[in-house]
Amino acid sequence: MASIHAPDYNNKPLHMSAYGNAWADDYGITAAPKIGDKVYFGILPAGLRVHSVVLQHHAAGASATAKLGFEPMEDDTPAADDDYWLPASTTTAAAGVKTSTAAPITFQRPVKIVLTAGGADYASGTMTVIVNGKAVGVA
């Protein structure tokens, strides 16, 4: 099982005050993951309340699926939840946009955005994750 990282995986500037508490960013990658590969899109900062997450993707090929969630930066908290935003049954076979229906979540520590490929090896894999939320600070 391989780990695939976006080119700007840990290279996003953090802007939390110049424009108020609104926070939005997008993370993109082009890769063709195999079944079980993890695709790391980027890092969400501590003190972020995530309101919505969207996955935009090209056609990955017949039977391709994905789940989208998060992992802690370090092996402690919060506990990893690899399908928090999108369940494993999310089809990516045809091009589309998948919007998460998960409840808003606040991160007290930084987390990695991770997609796990399933169903079949991806034929192509141009994918973008769009995250919207609010900077609320760390309690």
* Domain assignment of residue 8, yes or no: no
Q: What is the CATH number of the domain that holds 68?
A: 2.60.120.260
Domain assignment present for residue 59? The answer is yes
Q: Tokens at residue 75, please?
A: 């092996």
CB 99 within 8 A of CB 136: no
Task: Please report, in tens digits, the pLDDT of each residue of the chain (139 residues total).
Answer: 888 888 777 776 555 555 668 889 999 999 999 999 999 999 999 999 999 999 999 999 999 999 999 999 987 889 999 999 999 999 999 999 999 999 999 999 999 999 999 999 999 879 999 999 998 888 7
Say how many domains are in the chain. 1
Residue 64: inside a domain: yes
Helices (H), the chain: none
Residue 56 included in any domain: yes
- 57 within some domain: yes
Q: What is the pTM of this model?
A: 0.86
**Residue 41 included in any domain:** yes
Pairing between β-strand 38-44 and β-strand 3-5 as defined by DSSP bridges: parallel
Domain extent at residue 81: 21-135
Distance of CA 90 to the CA centre of its chain: 14
